[in-house]
Structure 1
Protein backbone atom coordinates (compact mmCIF):
# COMPACT_ATOMS: atom_id res chain seq x y z
CA UNK A 1 0.00 0.00 0.00
CA UNK A 2 2.92 2.37 0.73
CA UNK A 3 3.81 2.35 -3.00
CA UNK A 4 0.26 3.40 -3.91
CA UNK A 5 -0.46 6.15 -1.34
CA UNK A 6 1.31 9.08 -2.97
CA UNK A 7 0.91 12.88 -2.93
CA UNK A 8 0.23 12.99 -6.68
CA UNK A 9 -0.72 10.62 -9.47
CA UNK A 10 -0.92 11.16 -13.19
CA UNK A 11 -3.65 9.36 -15.14
CA UNK A 12 -3.39 8.75 -18.89
CA UNK A 13 -6.58 7.15 -20.17
CA UNK A 14 -6.07 5.58 -23.59
CA UNK A 15 -8.83 3.01 -23.25
CA UNK A 16 -10.66 4.56 -26.21
CA UNK A 17 -7.92 6.24 -28.23
CA UNK A 18 -5.39 3.48 -28.98
CA UNK A 19 -7.59 0.50 -29.79
CA UNK A 20 -7.00 0.78 -33.55
CA UNK A 21 -3.23 1.30 -33.22
CA UNK A 22 -0.52 -1.34 -32.98
CA UNK A 23 0.16 -2.77 -29.53
CA UNK A 24 3.85 -1.98 -30.21
CA UNK A 25 2.88 1.66 -29.64
CA UNK A 26 1.71 0.76 -26.14
CA UNK A 27 5.07 -0.86 -25.34
CA UNK A 28 6.75 2.38 -26.48
CA UNK A 29 4.35 4.41 -24.29
CA UNK A 30 5.32 2.42 -21.21
CA UNK A 31 9.04 2.67 -22.03
CA UNK A 32 8.63 6.45 -22.35
CA UNK A 33 6.77 6.63 -19.03
CA UNK A 34 9.46 4.48 -17.35
CA UNK A 35 12.01 7.06 -18.48
CA UNK A 36 9.89 10.08 -17.45
CA UNK A 37 8.79 8.72 -14.07
CA UNK A 38 12.10 6.99 -13.35
CA UNK A 39 14.02 10.22 -13.92
CA UNK A 40 11.36 12.19 -11.96
CA UNK A 41 10.43 14.25 -15.02
CA UNK A 42 6.80 13.48 -14.18
CA UNK A 43 4.92 12.06 -11.19
CA UNK A 44 4.00 8.35 -10.78
CA UNK A 45 1.55 7.45 -13.51
CA UNK A 46 -1.25 5.04 -14.25
CA UNK A 47 -2.14 4.40 -17.90
CA UNK A 48 -5.17 2.45 -19.12
CA UNK A 49 -5.25 1.08 -22.66
CA UNK A 50 -7.28 -1.19 -24.93
CA UNK A 51 -6.38 -2.66 -28.33
CA UNK A 52 -8.63 -4.28 -30.87
CA UNK A 53 -8.18 -7.97 -31.76
CA UNK A 54 -4.47 -8.72 -31.39
CA UNK A 55 -2.53 -11.75 -30.19
CA UNK A 56 0.73 -10.62 -28.62
CA UNK A 57 3.24 -13.45 -29.06
CA UNK A 58 6.25 -14.00 -26.83
CA UNK A 59 9.64 -14.82 -28.32
CA UNK A 60 9.13 -18.54 -27.60
CA UNK A 61 5.74 -18.52 -29.37
CA UNK A 62 7.39 -17.10 -32.47
CA UNK A 63 9.77 -20.11 -32.36
CA UNK A 64 6.99 -22.73 -32.54
CA UNK A 65 8.11 -25.33 -35.12
CA UNK A 66 5.01 -24.76 -37.29
CA UNK A 67 4.29 -21.13 -36.52
CA UNK A 68 3.73 -20.43 -40.22
CA UNK A 69 0.66 -22.72 -40.12
CA UNK A 70 -0.67 -21.30 -36.85
CA UNK A 71 -0.59 -17.60 -37.74
CA UNK A 72 -3.16 -17.85 -40.59
CA UNK A 73 -5.59 -19.49 -38.15
CA UNK A 74 -5.33 -16.45 -35.86
CA UNK A 75 -5.74 -14.12 -38.84
CA UNK A 76 -8.84 -16.01 -40.03
CA UNK A 77 -10.30 -15.52 -36.54
CA UNK A 78 -9.82 -11.75 -37.03
CA UNK A 79 -6.65 -11.26 -34.94
CA UNK A 80 -3.50 -9.37 -35.85
CA UNK A 81 -0.26 -10.71 -34.38
CA UNK A 82 2.80 -8.95 -33.01
CA UNK A 83 5.86 -10.29 -31.18
CA UNK A 84 7.09 -8.61 -27.99
CA UNK A 85 10.77 -8.74 -27.09
CA UNK A 86 10.19 -9.08 -23.35
CA UNK A 87 9.47 -12.28 -21.46
CA UNK A 88 6.17 -14.09 -21.27
CA UNK A 89 4.00 -16.04 -23.68
CA UNK A 90 1.00 -15.31 -25.91
CA UNK A 91 -1.84 -13.14 -24.62
CA UNK A 92 -5.07 -11.97 -26.26
CA UNK A 93 -6.03 -8.30 -26.55
CA UNK A 94 -9.47 -7.11 -27.61
CA UNK A 95 -12.06 -4.47 -26.72
CA UNK A 96 -13.15 -6.48 -23.65
CA UNK A 97 -9.68 -6.49 -22.08
CA UNK A 98 -8.44 -3.47 -20.14
CA UNK A 99 -4.70 -3.12 -19.71
CA UNK A 100 -3.46 -1.07 -16.77
CA UNK A 101 0.14 0.08 -16.31
CA UNK A 102 1.38 1.51 -13.01
CA UNK A 103 4.68 3.35 -13.45
CA UNK A 104 6.77 4.10 -10.35
CA UNK A 105 10.24 5.56 -9.78
CA UNK A 106 13.14 3.88 -7.99
CA UNK A 107 14.87 7.23 -7.33
CA UNK A 108 13.73 7.27 -3.69
CA UNK A 109 14.52 3.58 -3.13
CA UNK A 110 14.56 0.34 -5.08
CA UNK A 111 11.35 -1.60 -5.75
CA UNK A 112 12.13 -5.30 -5.93
CA UNK A 113 10.26 -7.55 -8.35
CA UNK A 114 7.88 -9.16 -5.79
CA UNK A 115 7.11 -5.70 -4.37
CA UNK A 116 6.13 -4.49 -7.84
CA UNK A 117 3.82 -7.45 -8.36
CA UNK A 118 2.27 -7.03 -4.90
CA UNK A 119 1.53 -3.36 -5.63
CA UNK A 120 -0.54 -4.37 -8.66
CA UNK A 121 -2.33 -7.15 -6.76
CA UNK A 122 -3.27 -4.56 -4.13
CA UNK A 123 -4.40 -2.09 -6.82
CA UNK A 124 -6.68 -4.68 -8.45
CA UNK A 125 -8.17 -5.67 -5.09
CA UNK A 126 -8.88 -1.99 -4.36
CA UNK A 127 -10.54 -1.65 -7.77
CA UNK A 128 -12.95 -4.51 -7.05
CA UNK A 129 -13.84 -4.30 -3.33
CA UNK A 130 -16.91 -6.49 -3.88
CA UNK A 131 -14.67 -9.51 -4.62
CA UNK A 132 -11.34 -8.33 -3.10
CA UNK A 133 -11.18 -11.12 -0.54
CA UNK A 134 -11.77 -13.75 -3.23
CA UNK A 135 -8.95 -12.57 -5.52
CA UNK A 136 -5.93 -14.86 -5.25
CA UNK A 137 -2.46 -14.58 -6.79
CA UNK A 138 -0.82 -17.86 -7.86
CA UNK A 139 -0.08 -19.67 -11.12
CA UNK A 140 -3.17 -21.05 -12.84
CA UNK A 141 -2.01 -24.17 -14.66
CA UNK A 142 -3.76 -24.49 -18.03
CA UNK A 143 -4.11 -20.74 -18.55
CA UNK A 144 -2.32 -18.86 -21.31
CA UNK A 145 0.80 -16.90 -20.31
CA UNK A 146 0.87 -18.57 -16.87
CA UNK A 147 2.81 -16.90 -14.07
CA UNK A 148 3.22 -16.77 -10.30
CA UNK A 149 1.03 -13.66 -10.14
CA UNK A 150 -1.96 -14.85 -12.16
CA UNK A 151 -5.08 -13.33 -10.60
CA UNK A 152 -8.04 -15.62 -10.14
CA UNK A 153 -11.36 -16.10 -8.35
CA UNK A 154 -12.38 -19.66 -7.53
CA UNK A 155 -9.49 -21.07 -9.55
CA UNK A 156 -10.45 -19.17 -12.75
CA UNK A 157 -7.90 -16.69 -14.07
CA UNK A 158 -9.05 -13.23 -15.15
CA UNK A 159 -5.74 -11.34 -15.17
CA UNK A 160 -1.98 -11.66 -15.59
CA UNK A 161 0.77 -9.31 -14.46
CA UNK A 162 4.15 -8.46 -16.00
CA UNK A 163 6.90 -5.89 -15.35
CA UNK A 164 9.20 -3.70 -17.40
CA UNK A 165 12.19 -1.79 -15.97
CA UNK A 166 14.02 1.08 -17.64
CA UNK A 167 15.95 4.22 -16.55
CA UNK A 168 15.01 3.73 -12.86
CA UNK A 169 11.34 3.47 -13.81
CA UNK A 170 9.24 0.36 -13.10
CA UNK A 171 6.14 -0.36 -15.21
CA UNK A 172 3.87 -2.99 -13.67
CA UNK A 173 1.30 -4.08 -16.25
CA UNK A 174 -1.88 -6.10 -15.86
CA UNK A 175 -4.27 -7.34 -18.53
CA UNK A 176 -7.75 -7.51 -17.03
CA UNK A 177 -10.25 -9.72 -18.81
CA UNK A 178 -13.32 -7.58 -18.05
CA UNK A 179 -15.97 -8.54 -20.61
CA UNK A 180 -16.74 -11.47 -22.88
CA UNK A 181 -15.68 -15.10 -22.59
CA UNK A 182 -12.35 -15.99 -21.01
CA UNK A 183 -12.68 -19.56 -22.30
CA UNK A 184 -13.14 -18.43 -25.92
CA UNK A 185 -9.94 -16.40 -25.78
CA UNK A 186 -8.16 -19.39 -24.26
CA UNK A 187 -9.40 -21.65 -27.08
CA UNK A 188 -7.75 -19.30 -29.58
CA UNK A 189 -4.36 -19.70 -27.83
CA UNK A 190 -4.92 -23.47 -27.47
CA UNK A 191 -5.31 -23.61 -31.28
CA UNK A 192 -2.10 -21.59 -31.69
CA UNK A 193 -0.11 -24.18 -29.72
CA UNK A 194 -1.80 -27.27 -31.17
CA UNK A 195 -1.29 -26.13 -34.76
CA UNK A 196 2.11 -24.58 -34.05
CA UNK A 197 3.44 -27.73 -32.38
CA UNK A 198 1.74 -30.49 -34.42
CA UNK A 199 2.63 -32.89 -31.62
CA UNK A 200 6.38 -32.26 -31.91
CA UNK A 201 8.66 -32.44 -28.87
CA UNK A 202 10.45 -29.13 -28.21
CA UNK A 203 13.10 -28.04 -25.73
CA UNK A 204 10.81 -25.31 -24.48
CA UNK A 205 7.67 -26.64 -22.76
CA UNK A 206 4.58 -24.79 -24.00
CA UNK A 207 1.51 -24.66 -21.76
CA UNK A 208 -1.35 -27.07 -22.37
CA UNK A 209 -4.29 -24.68 -22.45
CA UNK A 210 -7.47 -25.63 -20.61
CA UNK A 211 -10.09 -23.03 -21.54
CA UNK A 212 -12.28 -23.86 -18.54
CA UNK A 213 -9.71 -22.31 -16.13
CA UNK A 214 -10.11 -18.81 -17.63
CA UNK A 215 -13.01 -16.39 -17.27
CA UNK A 216 -13.82 -12.69 -17.45
CA UNK A 217 -14.61 -10.58 -14.39
CA UNK A 218 -18.17 -10.15 -15.70
CA UNK A 219 -18.56 -13.95 -15.72
CA UNK A 220 -16.98 -14.32 -12.26
CA UNK A 221 -18.89 -11.49 -10.58
CA UNK A 222 -22.13 -12.52 -12.27
CA UNK A 223 -22.94 -8.92 -13.23
CA UNK A 224 -22.34 -6.97 -16.42
CA UNK A 225 -19.09 -5.04 -16.07
CA UNK A 226 -17.62 -2.97 -18.89
CA UNK A 227 -14.15 -1.68 -19.68
CA UNK A 228 -15.59 1.83 -19.36
CA UNK A 229 -16.90 1.03 -15.85
CA UNK A 230 -13.46 -0.13 -14.76
CA UNK A 231 -11.82 2.97 -16.25
CA UNK A 232 -14.03 5.13 -14.04
CA UNK A 233 -13.10 2.98 -11.02
CA UNK A 234 -9.40 3.53 -11.80
CA UNK A 235 -9.84 7.30 -11.86
CA UNK A 236 -11.80 7.33 -8.58
CA UNK A 237 -9.25 5.04 -6.93
CA UNK A 238 -6.36 7.32 -7.92
CA UNK A 239 -8.20 10.27 -6.38
CA UNK A 240 -8.56 8.32 -3.14
CA UNK A 241 -4.89 7.25 -3.17
CA UNK A 242 -3.61 10.80 -3.82
CA UNK A 243 -6.13 12.75 -1.73
CA UNK A 244 -7.64 14.06 -4.95
CA UNK A 245 -4.50 15.36 -6.71
CA UNK A 246 -4.62 13.57 -10.07
CA UNK A 247 -3.05 15.09 -13.19
CA UNK A 248 -5.02 14.24 -16.32
CA UNK A 249 -3.98 14.43 -19.95
CA UNK A 250 -1.64 12.84 -22.43
CA UNK A 251 1.92 13.70 -23.47
CA UNK A 252 3.32 17.24 -23.80
CA UNK A 253 5.23 18.09 -27.04
CA UNK A 254 8.56 17.40 -25.24
CA UNK A 255 7.28 14.02 -24.03
CA UNK A 256 6.06 13.15 -27.55
CA UNK A 257 9.62 13.69 -28.81
CA UNK A 258 10.90 11.13 -26.27
CA UNK A 259 8.03 8.79 -27.20
CA UNK A 260 9.07 8.95 -30.88
CA UNK A 261 12.56 7.78 -29.88
CA UNK A 262 11.19 4.81 -27.93
CA UNK A 263 8.64 3.93 -30.64
CA UNK A 264 11.39 3.78 -33.28
CA UNK A 265 13.44 1.58 -30.94
CA UNK A 266 10.54 -0.82 -30.27
CA UNK A 267 9.68 -1.10 -33.99
CA UNK A 268 13.33 -1.66 -35.01
CA UNK A 269 13.83 -4.35 -32.35
CA UNK A 270 10.63 -6.06 -33.42
CA UNK A 271 11.70 -6.08 -37.08
CA UNK A 272 15.15 -7.50 -36.19
CA UNK A 273 13.58 -10.22 -34.06
CA UNK A 274 11.14 -11.22 -36.81
CA UNK A 275 14.01 -11.30 -39.31
CA UNK A 276 15.95 -13.68 -37.03
CA UNK A 277 12.90 -15.94 -36.80
Structure 2
Protein backbone atom coordinates (compact mmCIF):
# COMPACT_ATOMS: atom_id res chain seq x y z
CA UNK A 1 0.00 0.00 0.00
CA UNK A 2 3.02 2.31 0.31
CA UNK A 3 3.09 2.80 -3.43
CA UNK A 4 -0.47 4.14 -3.35
CA UNK A 5 0.53 6.49 -0.57
CA UNK A 6 3.47 7.74 -2.64
CA UNK A 7 1.07 8.54 -5.46
CA UNK A 8 -1.00 10.79 -3.18
CA UNK A 9 2.15 12.51 -1.97
CA UNK A 10 2.74 15.27 -4.49
CA UNK A 11 4.77 18.49 -4.12
CA UNK A 12 1.72 20.40 -5.26
CA UNK A 13 -1.98 19.59 -5.44
CA UNK A 14 -4.13 22.07 -7.33
CA UNK A 15 -7.80 21.73 -6.43
CA UNK A 16 -10.51 22.74 -8.88
CA UNK A 17 -13.80 22.69 -6.99
CA UNK A 18 -16.93 22.46 -9.15
CA UNK A 19 -19.10 20.83 -6.49
CA UNK A 20 -21.36 23.92 -6.37
CA UNK A 21 -20.67 25.90 -9.54
CA UNK A 22 -20.97 22.93 -11.90
CA UNK A 23 -24.30 21.54 -10.71
CA UNK A 24 -26.35 22.80 -13.66
CA UNK A 25 -23.70 22.24 -16.33
CA UNK A 26 -24.16 19.23 -18.61
CA UNK A 27 -22.10 16.33 -17.23
CA UNK A 28 -20.23 16.08 -20.55
CA UNK A 29 -18.46 19.20 -19.29
CA UNK A 30 -16.85 17.06 -16.57
CA UNK A 31 -15.56 14.44 -18.97
CA UNK A 32 -14.12 17.18 -21.20
CA UNK A 33 -12.49 18.72 -18.10
CA UNK A 34 -10.86 15.47 -17.00
CA UNK A 35 -9.49 14.83 -20.50
CA UNK A 36 -8.08 18.36 -20.54
CA UNK A 37 -6.43 17.87 -17.14
CA UNK A 38 -5.01 14.47 -18.18
CA UNK A 39 -3.35 16.20 -21.14
CA UNK A 40 -1.94 19.16 -19.17
CA UNK A 41 -0.85 17.18 -16.08
CA UNK A 42 0.48 14.37 -18.27
CA UNK A 43 2.71 16.70 -20.28
CA UNK A 44 3.96 18.40 -17.10
CA UNK A 45 2.50 21.83 -17.89
CA UNK A 46 0.24 21.60 -14.81
CA UNK A 47 0.72 20.05 -11.35
CA UNK A 48 -1.21 17.05 -10.03
CA UNK A 49 -4.82 18.21 -9.90
CA UNK A 50 -7.86 17.15 -7.90
CA UNK A 51 -11.28 18.12 -9.22
CA UNK A 52 -14.56 17.81 -7.37
CA UNK A 53 -17.85 17.91 -9.20
CA UNK A 54 -21.59 17.47 -8.72
CA UNK A 55 -24.27 17.40 -11.44
CA UNK A 56 -28.05 17.63 -11.31
CA UNK A 57 -30.04 14.46 -12.18
CA UNK A 58 -27.97 12.69 -14.84
CA UNK A 59 -27.52 9.07 -15.81
CA UNK A 60 -24.05 8.39 -17.19
CA UNK A 61 -24.03 5.33 -19.43
CA UNK A 62 -21.05 3.21 -20.45
CA UNK A 63 -20.48 2.24 -24.09
CA UNK A 64 -21.84 -1.30 -23.45
CA UNK A 65 -25.14 0.20 -22.26
CA UNK A 66 -25.67 1.77 -25.68
CA UNK A 67 -25.85 -1.77 -27.15
CA UNK A 68 -28.95 -2.75 -25.17
CA UNK A 69 -31.62 -4.12 -27.56
CA UNK A 70 -34.44 -1.77 -26.45
CA UNK A 71 -32.27 1.19 -25.44
CA UNK A 72 -34.77 3.80 -26.70
CA UNK A 73 -37.43 2.62 -24.24
CA UNK A 74 -34.94 2.77 -21.37
CA UNK A 75 -33.86 6.28 -22.39
CA UNK A 76 -37.48 7.47 -22.59
CA UNK A 77 -38.12 6.09 -19.11
CA UNK A 78 -35.11 7.95 -17.65
CA UNK A 79 -36.14 11.15 -19.40
CA UNK A 80 -39.65 10.84 -17.95
CA UNK A 81 -38.12 10.45 -14.49
CA UNK A 82 -36.40 13.82 -15.02
CA UNK A 83 -32.87 12.62 -15.86
CA UNK A 84 -30.48 13.72 -18.58
CA UNK A 85 -28.54 10.88 -20.20
CA UNK A 86 -24.96 10.99 -21.45
CA UNK A 87 -22.37 8.38 -22.46
CA UNK A 88 -18.92 8.60 -20.90
CA UNK A 89 -15.59 7.93 -22.56
CA UNK A 90 -14.10 5.78 -19.76
CA UNK A 91 -15.07 2.18 -18.98
CA UNK A 92 -17.90 0.84 -16.85
CA UNK A 93 -21.68 0.86 -16.97
CA UNK A 94 -24.61 3.11 -15.98
CA UNK A 95 -24.30 5.26 -12.84
CA UNK A 96 -26.54 7.89 -11.23
CA UNK A 97 -25.43 11.47 -10.61
CA UNK A 98 -27.53 13.86 -8.56
CA UNK A 99 -27.03 16.54 -5.94
CA UNK A 100 -26.30 13.96 -3.23
CA UNK A 101 -23.44 12.39 -5.21
CA UNK A 102 -19.96 13.90 -4.98
CA UNK A 103 -17.49 13.00 -7.72
CA UNK A 104 -13.75 13.32 -7.18
CA UNK A 105 -11.14 13.09 -9.94
CA UNK A 106 -7.45 12.78 -9.05
CA UNK A 107 -5.21 13.50 -12.04
CA UNK A 108 -1.63 12.26 -11.79
CA UNK A 109 1.32 12.58 -14.16
CA UNK A 110 2.51 9.18 -15.35
CA UNK A 111 6.27 9.19 -14.93
CA UNK A 112 8.80 6.96 -16.73
CA UNK A 113 7.85 3.90 -14.66
CA UNK A 114 4.15 4.35 -15.34
CA UNK A 115 1.31 3.99 -12.86
CA UNK A 116 0.04 0.45 -12.46
CA UNK A 117 -3.77 0.43 -12.76
CA UNK A 118 -4.32 -1.01 -9.26
CA UNK A 119 -2.02 1.60 -7.78
CA UNK A 120 -4.34 4.35 -8.99
CA UNK A 121 -7.35 2.55 -7.49
CA UNK A 122 -5.53 1.92 -4.20
CA UNK A 123 -4.58 5.59 -3.90
CA UNK A 124 -8.24 6.62 -4.12
CA UNK A 125 -9.32 3.86 -1.71
CA UNK A 126 -6.72 5.01 0.83
CA UNK A 127 -7.86 8.61 0.54
CA UNK A 128 -11.51 7.65 1.16
CA UNK A 129 -10.53 5.54 4.19
CA UNK A 130 -8.63 8.51 5.60
CA UNK A 131 -11.62 10.82 5.04
CA UNK A 132 -13.97 8.64 7.07
CA UNK A 133 -11.57 7.08 9.58
CA UNK A 134 -13.39 8.56 12.58
CA UNK A 135 -16.49 6.42 11.90
CA UNK A 136 -14.57 3.26 12.72
CA UNK A 137 -16.27 1.18 10.02
CA UNK A 138 -14.32 -1.02 7.63
CA UNK A 139 -14.36 0.25 4.06
CA UNK A 140 -13.75 -2.65 1.69
CA UNK A 141 -12.77 -2.65 -1.98
CA UNK A 142 -14.31 -5.61 -3.80
CA UNK A 143 -17.02 -6.24 -6.36
CA UNK A 144 -20.55 -5.92 -4.99
CA UNK A 145 -22.73 -8.20 -7.10
CA UNK A 146 -26.17 -6.71 -7.73
CA UNK A 147 -24.90 -3.11 -7.64
CA UNK A 148 -24.92 -0.84 -10.68
CA UNK A 149 -21.61 -0.50 -12.53
CA UNK A 150 -20.00 -3.38 -10.55
CA UNK A 151 -16.20 -3.61 -10.46
CA UNK A 152 -13.37 -5.00 -8.35
CA UNK A 153 -12.91 -1.60 -6.66
CA UNK A 154 -16.49 -1.03 -5.52
CA UNK A 155 -16.23 0.59 -2.08
CA UNK A 156 -18.61 -0.83 0.51
CA UNK A 157 -19.35 -1.12 4.20
CA UNK A 158 -20.96 -4.33 5.47
CA UNK A 159 -21.66 -5.48 1.91
CA UNK A 160 -23.45 -2.27 0.86
CA UNK A 161 -21.80 -0.24 -1.89
CA UNK A 162 -21.55 3.55 -1.65
CA UNK A 163 -18.92 4.31 -4.32
CA UNK A 164 -17.39 3.13 -7.57
CA UNK A 165 -13.98 3.99 -9.03
CA UNK A 166 -12.96 4.26 -12.68
CA UNK A 167 -9.83 5.34 -14.54
CA UNK A 168 -9.09 7.25 -17.69
CA UNK A 169 -5.61 7.42 -19.25
CA UNK A 170 -4.65 9.99 -21.84
CA UNK A 171 -1.34 11.54 -22.95
CA UNK A 172 0.70 10.40 -19.91
CA UNK A 173 -2.01 11.62 -17.55
CA UNK A 174 -4.06 9.30 -15.34
CA UNK A 175 -7.46 10.37 -14.02
CA UNK A 176 -8.78 8.24 -11.16
CA UNK A 177 -12.47 9.08 -10.76
CA UNK A 178 -14.86 8.15 -7.94
CA UNK A 179 -18.53 8.82 -7.31
CA UNK A 180 -19.49 8.95 -3.63
CA UNK A 181 -23.17 8.56 -2.72
CA UNK A 182 -23.12 11.03 0.17
CA UNK A 183 -26.80 11.25 1.07
CA UNK A 184 -30.22 10.27 -0.23
CA UNK A 185 -31.24 6.66 -0.81
CA UNK A 186 -28.69 4.29 -2.36
CA UNK A 187 -31.37 1.66 -3.00
CA UNK A 188 -33.66 4.14 -4.80
CA UNK A 189 -30.83 5.08 -7.16
CA UNK A 190 -30.17 1.38 -7.78
CA UNK A 191 -33.87 0.72 -8.37
CA UNK A 192 -33.91 3.43 -11.07
CA UNK A 193 -31.01 1.76 -12.91
CA UNK A 194 -32.65 -1.66 -12.43
CA UNK A 195 -35.81 -0.41 -14.16
CA UNK A 196 -33.72 1.11 -16.97
CA UNK A 197 -32.05 -2.29 -17.64
CA UNK A 198 -35.29 -4.17 -17.44
CA UNK A 199 -36.96 -1.87 -20.00
CA UNK A 200 -33.88 -1.76 -22.24
CA UNK A 201 -33.32 -5.51 -22.26
CA UNK A 202 -36.73 -7.11 -21.75
CA UNK A 203 -35.10 -10.38 -20.64
CA UNK A 204 -33.43 -10.91 -24.04
CA UNK A 205 -30.17 -12.83 -24.20
CA UNK A 206 -27.30 -10.42 -24.88
CA UNK A 207 -23.63 -11.11 -25.63
CA UNK A 208 -22.66 -8.79 -22.81
CA UNK A 209 -23.79 -9.64 -19.29
CA UNK A 210 -25.58 -6.67 -17.74
CA UNK A 211 -25.95 -6.52 -13.95
CA UNK A 212 -29.08 -7.93 -12.29
CA UNK A 213 -29.67 -5.01 -9.92
CA UNK A 214 -30.48 -5.75 -6.28
CA UNK A 215 -31.30 -2.33 -4.77
CA UNK A 216 -30.64 -3.43 -1.18
CA UNK A 217 -26.89 -3.87 -1.81
CA UNK A 218 -26.46 -0.11 -2.31
CA UNK A 219 -26.58 2.68 0.28
CA UNK A 220 -25.38 6.25 0.82
CA UNK A 221 -22.71 7.23 3.37
CA UNK A 222 -25.38 9.03 5.42
CA UNK A 223 -27.34 5.77 5.63
CA UNK A 224 -24.27 3.65 6.41
CA UNK A 225 -22.91 5.97 9.10
CA UNK A 226 -26.36 6.94 10.37
CA UNK A 227 -25.16 10.54 10.10
CA UNK A 228 -26.54 13.61 8.36
CA UNK A 229 -23.71 14.14 5.86
CA UNK A 230 -23.78 16.82 3.16
CA UNK A 231 -21.64 17.17 0.05
CA UNK A 232 -19.94 20.19 1.63
CA UNK A 233 -19.08 18.17 4.80
CA UNK A 234 -17.46 15.54 2.62
CA UNK A 235 -15.64 18.23 0.60
CA UNK A 236 -14.05 19.47 3.83
CA UNK A 237 -12.98 15.94 4.79
CA UNK A 238 -11.51 15.48 1.32
CA UNK A 239 -9.47 18.71 1.49
CA UNK A 240 -8.15 17.85 4.97
CA UNK A 241 -7.13 14.34 3.91
CA UNK A 242 -5.43 15.54 0.70
CA UNK A 243 -3.69 18.37 2.54
CA UNK A 244 -1.86 15.76 4.67
CA UNK A 245 -0.31 14.36 1.49
CA UNK A 246 0.54 17.64 -0.27
CA UNK A 247 3.63 19.76 -0.10
CA UNK A 248 1.29 22.59 -1.08
CA UNK A 249 -2.47 22.49 -1.60
CA UNK A 250 -4.15 25.40 -3.35
CA UNK A 251 -7.38 26.29 -5.11
CA UNK A 252 -6.99 26.85 -8.84
CA UNK A 253 -8.76 27.12 -12.17
CA UNK A 254 -7.86 26.14 -15.72
CA UNK A 255 -4.95 28.11 -17.17
CA UNK A 256 -5.45 29.98 -20.46
CA UNK A 257 -3.72 27.09 -22.30
CA UNK A 258 -5.96 24.54 -20.60
CA UNK A 259 -9.08 26.58 -21.38
CA UNK A 260 -8.34 26.37 -25.11
CA UNK A 261 -7.55 22.64 -24.80
CA UNK A 262 -10.88 22.21 -23.03
CA UNK A 263 -12.80 23.66 -26.00
CA UNK A 264 -11.40 20.89 -28.21
CA UNK A 265 -11.93 18.05 -25.70
CA UNK A 266 -15.45 19.19 -24.84
CA UNK A 267 -16.31 19.37 -28.53
CA UNK A 268 -14.94 15.84 -28.98
CA UNK A 269 -16.95 14.28 -26.12
CA UNK A 270 -20.12 16.13 -27.19
CA UNK A 271 -19.79 15.02 -30.81
CA UNK A 272 -19.05 11.43 -29.81
CA UNK A 273 -22.00 11.43 -27.44
CA UNK A 274 -24.40 12.61 -30.13
CA UNK A 275 -23.09 9.96 -32.50
CA UNK A 276 -23.41 7.14 -29.96
CA UNK A 277 -26.85 8.13 -28.62
CA UNK A 278 -28.10 9.24 -32.02
CA UNK A 279 -30.36 11.87 -30.44
Q: TM-score, normalised by structure 2?
A: 0.95
Q: Does 1:274 align with 2:274?
A: no
SS where residue 262 of structure 1 aligns?
helix
Q: Does 1:256 align with 2:259?
A: yes
Distance in 1 between residues matched to 2:43 and 2:73, nearest whole Å: 44
Distance in 1 between residues matched to 2:190 and 2:276, nearest whole Å: 26
> Which of 191, 204, 209 does residue 205 from structure 1 map onto?
209
- What is the match of residue 135 of structure 1? 139
Distance in 2 between residues matched to 1:119 and 1:129, nearest whole Å: 15
> Which of 164, 170, 175 does residue 171 from structure 1 map onto?
175
Distance in 2 between residues matched to 1:134 and 1:76, nearest whole Å: 38
- What is the match of residue 88 of structure 1? 92
Task: Report the CA distance between 1:192 and its aligned residue.
Answer: 0.4
Task: Report the CA distance between 1:274 and its aligned residue.
Answer: 2.6
Q: Does 1:11 align with 2:15?
A: yes
8 Å contact from structure 1 (residues 126, 132) kept in 2:
no
Distance in 1 between residues matched to 2:173 and 2:144, nearest whole Å: 28
Distance in 1 between residues matched to 2:122 and 2:144, nearest whole Å: 17
8 Å contact from structure 2 (residues 68, 201) kept in 1:
yes
- What is the match of residue 62 of structure 2? 58
Task: Report the CA distance between 1:41 and its aligned residue.
Answer: 0.7
- Count of residue pairs the alignment pairs up: 275
Task: Report the CA distance between 1:85 and its aligned residue.
Answer: 3.2
- Which residues in structure 2 correspond to 1:118-267 (within 5 Å)? 118-131=122-135, 134-243=138-247, 245-267=248-270
Post-superposition CA distance 1:181-228 (Å, at most 9, x none): 000000000000111111211111111000000000000001111101
Post-superposition CA distance 1:63-115 (Å, at most 9, x none): 11111111121112111111123321000000000000000011253101111
Let me know the Cα RMSD of the aligned residues. 1.3
5+ long unaligned stretches in structure 1: none
> Which of 16, 19, 24 does residue 20 from structure 1 map onto?
24
Q: TM-score, normalised by structure 1?
A: 0.96
5+ long unaligned stretches in structure 2: none
